[in-house]
Amino acid sequence: MYVQIITSTLRFTNRKRQHMIELPHAVVGAAIAAKVGNPALSLPLALASHFVLDLVPHWNPHLNREISEHGKITTRTRTIIALDVLVSLGAGFFIASTALPDTARFITIAFGAFFGVLPDVAEAPFFFLKSKNKWLERLVKFQSSLQFNVPLIPGVISQLLVLVAALWWVLGT
């Protein structure tokens, strides 16, 4: 079983169009902003981290597949997304709160979490409002080309490892 998990995690040919859940993106973005500090450097790095993390093997609901099969995103997936967004907001603000009473640093860290998820936030009108302008279509196509998706168990494990590493980096030192 462990060999199967490892091989499915390492198989680069298993690319389907979906997105990593937001929580690792938000926590890594916040961690970068907390550690780097300078918003002129940390916010672009938090944004860039989004695209790097999409290259890490991961699992997430298949938005494109659901839209093509059902004509919309299912209620189950909407619930997963809503919970993910709420937990991500909480995690981002928790990490930012470690900077208090330094309000400027708090704001930088909160924006770091936001910049970590910004590409997916920008795609929301495409998936949820069926907005099909050329800029959004290009963004969705570009982000889809970066995805490295694997089955549920190895995908969740890899996201948990990213999450734990980012939390350890920002809170453990």
Instruction: For residues 16 and 104, give the distance between their C-alpha atoms in angstroms, rounded to a whole number.
Output: 40
Q: What are phi and psi of 37, to 5 degrees?
A: 85, -65
Report, as an integer, the average pLDDT of 111-130. 90
pLDDT number for residue 19: 53
Number of H helices, E strands in the chain: 8, 0
Query: What is the band of 60 on the pLDDT scale with cuts at 50, 70, 90?
Result: confident
Report, as an integer, the average pLDDT of 34-62. 92
Q: Where are the domains of the chain?
A: 16-171
- Among 35-44, 108-117, 151-160, the range scoring the smallest mean pLDDT is 151-160
Which one is predicted more confidently, 113 or 76? Answer: 113
Token pair in block for residue 8: 């499915």
Question: Residue 149: beta bridge partners?
Answer: 58
The mean pLDDT of the chain is 85
Is pLDDT at 139 greater than 70 in this prediction?
yes
Instruction: For residues 153 and 64, give the distance between their C-alpha atoms in angstroms, rounded to a whole number.
Output: 21
